[in-house]
Amino acid sequence: MKKNIRYHLSSALNSYAILFFSQNKILGTLLFVVSMFNLNAGISGLACLICALLLVNSSGFNKENIKSGLYSFNPLLLGIGFGTFYNFNYAFWFWLAAACLLCVVLSVSLTALLGKYALPTLSIPFVITFWIVLIAANGYAGMGLIQKSSSLVFELATNVPSRFTSICNFFDKLNMPAYLALFFRSVSAVLFQNSIFAGILISLGFFIHSRIGFSLLIIGFVAACIINHLTGTYPDGISYYHLGANFMMVSCAIGGFFLIPSWRSYLWAIATIPLIFLVLNGISRLLGIHSLPVFSMPFCLVTVGLLYFFMLRKTTGKLKLTALQNYSPETNLYQFLNGEERLKGFRYLALNLPFMGSWSVSQAYNGDITHKGEWSEALDFVLKDIDNKTYEWPGIKPEDYYCYNKPVLAAAAGYVCEVIDHVDDNVIGQVNLAQNWGNTVVIKHTDNLFTKVSHLKKNSVKVKVGDYVKQGDVIALCGNSGRSPEPHLHFQVQKTPFIGSKTFAYPFAYFVNEQTNELKSFEIPKQNEVVKSPEINPYLKHAFNFQPGYITRVSNEIKQSETWEVFTDDFNYTYFFCHENGAIAYFVNNENVFYFTRFYGNRKSLLFIFYQSAYKINYSAHQANDVFANDTEHFNPGLWLQDLIAPFYTFTKNTYHNIAFTGGEGITLESVAKNRAFGKDKTLMNSKILVDVNGIRSIEILYKNKISKVKWGTGLN
């Protein structure tokens, strides 16, 4: 019962909040209250909203879409518009019900149709439905709809809401600059109002929800006013409704909601304003023939058109579309930046080092010897002793060199597509320029992704063209053939299968920097760096090997108990689900590390404690370093300055460090999270996870000056 009430309340509030690209319950509540300033419009809007939710819920449509408000915000707009345009009578409620049904059908259908192209529906269903209503009502007086004022059809101007006359009059008579008053009236026009007080409340709520979004509202408003002043398109000024519902909303949508906020998206937000002028003026002329207002159709057409335009790009460049919508420009931006830094495993095929043991990078990318031009992005590896020498005295023959005759491994699974195995090894100090690459193996891993190892020992290649190899298979031995004055292993990544193909930069998935004892994730080794593959601790790997179907019960010292189960979603991503409170934590579990990717839900959940503590766990004894995204889930004025300038510059960063210690009770994983801003560090969280031969035993965390202890139950799978 409680879950049902929460679900329906969330659906209703999200329907209001999504009018300003939000799912914030506080903003949704505020918009509901403001809609009631015009009581008739507010009541009819709420009635339409309730009917729409009842219809889609009883018809069995997608629950997530219903909860987000995607199917109901257009009927809500329709109801508010109906109450603004027409007087209440029996005909009003009859035709409102019919129009609401049509609007719901259009909302569901267009959401599915445009969704196939990853495009939003916006307010198109509302506009189409209201146009049909206006055409019908103007053509058939017998419908019984009584319009309040003919001017409403064109300007959507309303009188000051009668129930709040004194308050609204007070704000309307304040001695504030004309453009400031126009800004607030324009914001209120999204709810079909003409009230400075309503605009102030909405602006305040929207600013608290999103500083980026609010700044884009201002940018759209200012750009439209400047262009109108320079061109004289509207000598008497732009209609406050068109400013709010078209110019300002398109700036917010393009600048920070459907595109990841950046200086590039802000430029596009400004560039859309002239487009709105053109589309608005052109459609107004066409619709004027039938005495129809344009409503927010220019905003819809320009936004959908630009998004489809961006989707047709073959390379996205640095202007990024929002792939996962969080209904907050700040969250979209911070999660994107966080993912760019830490979730590289979703962008790259995992390549491992092509050797055993610790090797040194004798020549890195853009090296001084041979890694130049089209072949600059390659690596040479050698073995060195404690004296930094690559050979054992006297060093006059290949066998004196430590790396000679050592196994060379496949960096990843694939098919062998090129092999050379007949070239003689060189005398030390001499090179074979005629057969530059010497003995070589090229492996195809995916389309346009090949790895090549060269300068191999003669007759040491253990594979042939067409063979399938697994990651870690021995494919040859290190040699001294080709352009190689002394034994070394040449490794490169290329987009074509041919020997001699030009190189491109590509990271190794996981390797250890032996000088710093740090595990590197999806990085490229640097000059003179000593690297090796991580040594996996089987106890750690067993403890965090959570597979779909795994179930465990956890509890804390105050008798809070939760049951967690591991599932996979439609995209085959794995996550923990808490049965008691619905919290979800997505994670990745591969050969080298366990790490969380995203948390959704109640942050008082014990699952959130585990998410923070085990944010990244190495299956080795090496320190794990990672970064948290800035937290926008809670009211945090301290982050507002960063939010405002985040599209251009970030001065704060949340870091995470984790290292394993072995003791009498097992393995203790100690983690710390810190916030760094203006050169100063502030500790956010400390935790300890105890692991023994049976798996995880307990978690202890210090977070927000509160210590929590969680006892891990036995897996129930």
Mean pLDDT (whole number) for 618-622: 84
User: pLDDT at residue 174 above 90?
Assistant: no
What is the radius of gyration, based on Cα positions, of the chain? Answer: 32
Reported confidence tier of residue 150, pLDDT bands at 50, 70, 90: very low
* Angle subtended at Cα 386 by Cα 382 and Cα 389, rounded to the nearest 5 degrees: 45
C-alpha dihedral over 619, 621, 625, 629, to 10 degrees?
A: 40
Cα–chain center distance at 48: 33
Element (H, E) at 676: strand 666-677
| 296-321 per-position pLDDT tens digit | 999 999 999 999 999 999 888 889 99
pLDDT cut 70: percent of the chain above it: 95
> When comparing pLDDT for 123 and 149, which is higher?
123
The encoded tokens of residue 85 equal 């345009």
509 vs 6: CA distance, rounded Å: 43
Evaluate if residue 700 carries a pLDDT over 50.
yes
Q: Are strands 551-556 and 530-532 parallel, antiparallel or unpaired?
A: unpaired
439 forms beta bridges with 456
Angle at 168 between CA 164 and CA 173, to 5 degrees: 150
> Which residues are CB-neighbours of 398 under 8 A, at least 6 positions away?
404, 425, 426, 428, 479, 480, 486, 487
Q: Is the pLDDT of residue 163 over 90?
A: no
Asked if the bond preceding 329 is cis, omega within 30° of 0, the reply is no
Taking residues 668-672, what's their average pLDDT?
Answer: 91
DSSP single-letter state for residue 258 = S
Q: According to the 3-state scheme, what is the secondary structure of 106-174?
A: HHHHHHHHHHCCCCCCCCHHHHHHHHHHHHHHHHCHHHCCCECCCCHHHHCCCCCCHHHHHHHHHHHCC
**Among 132-136, 407-411, 620-624, where is mean pLDDT lowest?**
620-624
* Cα(142)–Cα(137) distance, integer angstroms: 8
Following DSSP, what letter does each residue of 623-670 receive, concatenated? BEEEEEPP--SS--GGGHHHHHHTTT---EEEEEEEEEEEETTEEEEE
> What is the tens place of the pLDDT at every residue in 345-401?
888 999 999 999 999 999 999 988 889 889 999 999 999 998 899 999 888 899 999
Q: Please provide the DSSP assignment of 509-524 as one string.
A: EEEEETTTTEEEEEE-
CA 328 – CA 326 distance, rounded (Å) = 5
Cβ neighbors of 688 (< 8 A, separation 6 or more) are 613, 668, 669, 670, 671, 699, 700, 701
Run of H or E residues at 180: helix 178-188
Mean pLDDT of 114-132: 95
Query: What angle separates helix 211-231 from helix 196-209, to the nearest 10 degrees?
Result: 130
pLDDT confidence bin for 250, thresholds 50/70/90:
very high
Model confidence band, residue 139 (pLDDT cutoffs 50, 70, 90): confident
Mean pLDDT of the chain: 90
Label residues 16-39 b or e (16+ Cβ within 10 Å = b).
bbbbbbbbbeebbbbbbebbbbbe
* pLDDT tens column, 41-93: 999 999 999 999 999 999 999 888 999 999 999 999 999 999 998 889 999 99
Q: Tokens for 587?
A: 């994670």
DSSP, residue by residue, 444-512: EEETTEEEEEEEEPTT-----TT-EE-TT-EEEEB--BSS-SS--EEEEEESSSSTTPPB----EEEEE
Burial of 227 (0-12, 13-18, 19+ CB in 10 A): middle
172, pLDDT greater than 70:
no
Q: Are 555 and 709 in contact (CB under 8 A)?
A: no
pLDDT band at residue 158 using 50, 70 and 90 as cut-offs = very low
Tens of pLDDT, residue by residue over 554-602, are: 998 888 899 999 999 988 899 999 998 889 999 999 888 999 999 988 8
Query: How far is residue 662's CA from residue 690's CA, in Å, rounded to a whole number?
Result: 10
Cβ neighbours of residue 173 closer than 8 Å, sequence gap 6 or more: none
Q: At 156, is the pLDDT very low, low, confident or very high (cuts 50, 70, 90)?
A: very low
Beta-strand relationship, 468-469 and 414-420: antiparallel
pLDDT at 157: 41
Residue 468, pLDDT above cutoff 60? yes
Q: Specify the pTM.
A: 0.86
DSSP 391: B
Helices (H) and strands (E) in the chain, counts: 20, 24
Of residues 616, 626, 621, the one with CA closest to residue 594: 616
* Sign of the alpha-carbon torsion through 473, 475, 479, 482: negative
Mean predicted confidence (pLDDT) in 155-174: 57
Nearest alpha carbon to residue 126 among 81, 93, 96, 94: 81
Whole-number Cα distances in Å, 292 to 130, 167, 280, 642? 9, 33, 13, 44
Residue pair 430/484 in contact (Cβ under 8 Å)? The answer is no
Sheet with 508-513, side-by-side order of all strands? 468-469, 414-420, 439-446, 449-456, 489-494, 378-382, 359-363, 530-532, 508-513, 518-523
Q: Which two tokens stand for residue 159?
A: 């009188």
Amino acid symbol at 198: A
Q: Residue written as tokens 């009859």?
A: 94
Pairing state between β 624-628 and 652-663: antiparallel
**CA–CA dist 262, 246 (Å, integer):** 21
Question: 319 or 694, which is more confident?
Answer: 319
Side chain identity at residue 206, one-letter code? F
Checking if the pLDDT of 151 tops 60, the result is no
The yes-or-no verdict on residue 152 having pLDDT over 50 is no
